[in-house]
Amino acid sequence: MKHREVLSFLERLMERVRLAADLPPNEVHVFNVHASYGHYQIIIGPAEKVLRRHRRNRQVEINGALHHLFVTKNHIAPHPTHKQIHDNLKGCIIMRDLTLHIKDPTGSGRKLAVGNKQDAILAREKINLAGPAGDKFLKRMEQTGKLAKDTYKIVQEDILNALAHKQYTTE
């Protein structure tokens, strides 16, 4: 069985937008994506040489807006589960009209920039249907960076799905 290499978020992004893998180091690319869960401006920054592996990393920055997120004690999702709907969203916090400013320093899709974990996501409105416990688990998720990391995963999937259907414009 042949070992499959796992592509980073940046590599998958560049593949979907049809950017060459060997871009000049100083080149910056900016494009907009209108996706299912929101709309985003994606900036692929200049390359920074990494001594290990002699590869060049590029910073990925995502600015945009997300329509809503549904947050429970252990789960963050763009849609409520069937069980949550059946239970009238009890134990859930609905975050509406979110503003995103996410920086991934390596483009790997797994790390956020230091200091960006707590400021990456701001919600215009939070509807707490979980009571006092909801305030606690949301605050803990914000402080530990879980909210930002999980939201980044959701945004990545949304962007890649939209790019597969060619819903982007370049600037």
Write out 39-96 in H/E/C secondary structure: EEEEEEEEEEECCHHHCEEEEEEEEEEEEEEEECCCCEECCCCHHHHHCCCCCCEEEE
As to burial, measured by CB atoms within 10 angstroms (0-12 exposed, 13-18 middle, 19+ buried), residue 77 is middle
Torsion sign across C-alpha atoms 93, 134, 156, 62: positive
> In this predicted structure, what is the pLDDT of residue 60?
92
pLDDT band at 171 (very low <50, low <70, confident <90, very high): low
The confidence score (pLDDT) of residue 170 equals 60
Tell me which residue has tokens 């416990």.
133
CB 71 within 8 Å of CB 147: yes
In this prediction, residue 137 carries a pLDDT of: 94
Residues 6 or more apart whose CB falls under 8 angstroms from that of 94 comprise 68, 69, 70, 71, 126, 127, 129
CA distance linking residue 111 with residue 118, whole number of Å: 13
Cβ neighbours for 34, distance < 8 A, ≥ 6 positions apart:
162, 167, 168
pLDDT for residue 3 is more than 70: no
pLDDT tens column, 79-130: 999 999 999 999 999 999 999 999 998 888 887 876 666 568 999 999 999 9
- Quick one: average pLDDT of 70-77? 93
Q: Is the pLDDT of residue 49 over 60?
A: yes
Contact between residue 123 and residue 96 where contact means Cβ atoms under 8 Å apart: yes
